[in-house]
Amino acid sequence: MDPLTQLGLLATIAATYSGFIAVFIAFTKDGRFEVTDAHFVQAMVLGTIGVMVMALTPPVLMLMIPQPRMWFLMAIFGIVGGLPSMIYQAVQQSRLSKEEAAKIPIGWHVPGWALGFLALAAFAAALIYPGIRPGLYVAGVTLMLTVSIWCFIAVVFRRFF
């Protein structure tokens, strides 16, 4: 399967997942989450939007620039877009009060951050290894989606189990 087809499938999954998140939010108490869940929900929403943007941009750029250059630019875009997103999430997470932060064991945060760093590493590796750049880019976008999925798991399992 070529990378653009894979990205199209990831965009479809992310769009479907965004709709599911909207329904999930609608059925929460007053449409709001607890303060301790807010950064998980933000990561879910921002992650799925990011996946859609990162998955739908390459086919458009390919109409304007040669494919090798497009993959290079998309790898840069992955890093440039990923770093501010990670910083924003870190700031949001650090703003929790000590009492709220104590309600969330660190184990719920580690997988999401690990997946996020792996996505960033895939985009960085795509700059270094041009022969497998498309595959590394698709891997980075896939890892972005797994961050959103992990955040959903963290919210649901902490809340209901």
Range of the domain at 74: 3-22+37-160
| Any domain includes 29 | no
Q: What is the pTM of this model?
A: 0.90
Q: What percent of the chain has pLDDT over 90?
A: 58
| Any domain includes 28 | no
| Any domain includes 27 | no
Q: Which amino acid is at 126?
A: A
| Any domain includes 85 | yes
- Quick count: other Cβ atoms within 10 Å of Cβ 81? 16
**Cβ atoms 86, 45 nearer than 8 A:** no
pLDDT of residue 105: 83
Count of domains observed in the chain: 1
